[in-house]
Amino acid sequence: MTFEQAWSKYIISLKGKEIYLAYGKKNKILEVSDEGIKRITSNGNENFISIDVFEYTYNRVNNDGYISRKCINQEFPKRVSSGVIAILKEIHFIELTSNPELGLILSKTKQK
């Protein structure tokens, strides 16, 4: 499944929903567009994450099977990795992992 297909099928429907970060804190998704996502962070701040971060992260997981939060932060140093992970783990074939470190993996049991 391409990034655009996954965005349309799984991410756009998150508008208005609360999602949970890796450590149980929550974010509220305010808006989802072709430019990215506007959210309220667990600290109560409004924040925008560009679609470019999601596309990069999704493609790395899809192509390599895994991406770490550290890698996302190195590529996009605006401290958005926790939100990106929380949002992309809502796709049924992407899962949260802590092995070897916190990140996302392709599910071994669920098909794309």
Q: pLDDT digit string (tens) for 60-104?
A: 999 999 999 999 999 998 779 999 999 999 999 999 999 889 999
pLDDT digit string (tens) for 10-52?
999 999 999 998 788 899 999 999 999 999 999 999 999 999 9
**Domain annotation covers residue 21:** yes
Q: Cite the DSSP H helix spans in the chain.
A: 3-6, 51-64, 69-75, 81-88
pLDDT over threshold 70, residue 112: no
Domain that holds residue 29: 3-106
pLDDT over threshold 70, residue 110: no
Hey, which residues does 66 pair with through a beta bridge? Answer: 105
CA dihedral 7, 94, 81, 36 (to 10 degrees): 0
**Domain annotation covers residue 38:** yes
Determine the Cα–Cα distance for residues 59 and 63; give it in Å rounded to an integer: 6
- As separate numbers, helices (DSSP H) first and strands (DSSP E) second, the chain gives 4, 7
Q: Which of 15, 31, 79 is nearest to 53 (CA)?
A: 79
Determine the Cα–Cα distance for residues 97 and 80; give it in Å rounded to an integer: 17
Helix (H, G, I), strand (E, B), or coil: what is residue 82?
A: helix
Q: How confident is the model at residue 111 (pLDDT cuts 50, 70, 90)?
A: low
pLDDT over threshold 90, residue 108: no
**Domain annotation covers residue 41:** yes
Total domains, the chain: 1
**Domain annotation covers residue 57:** yes
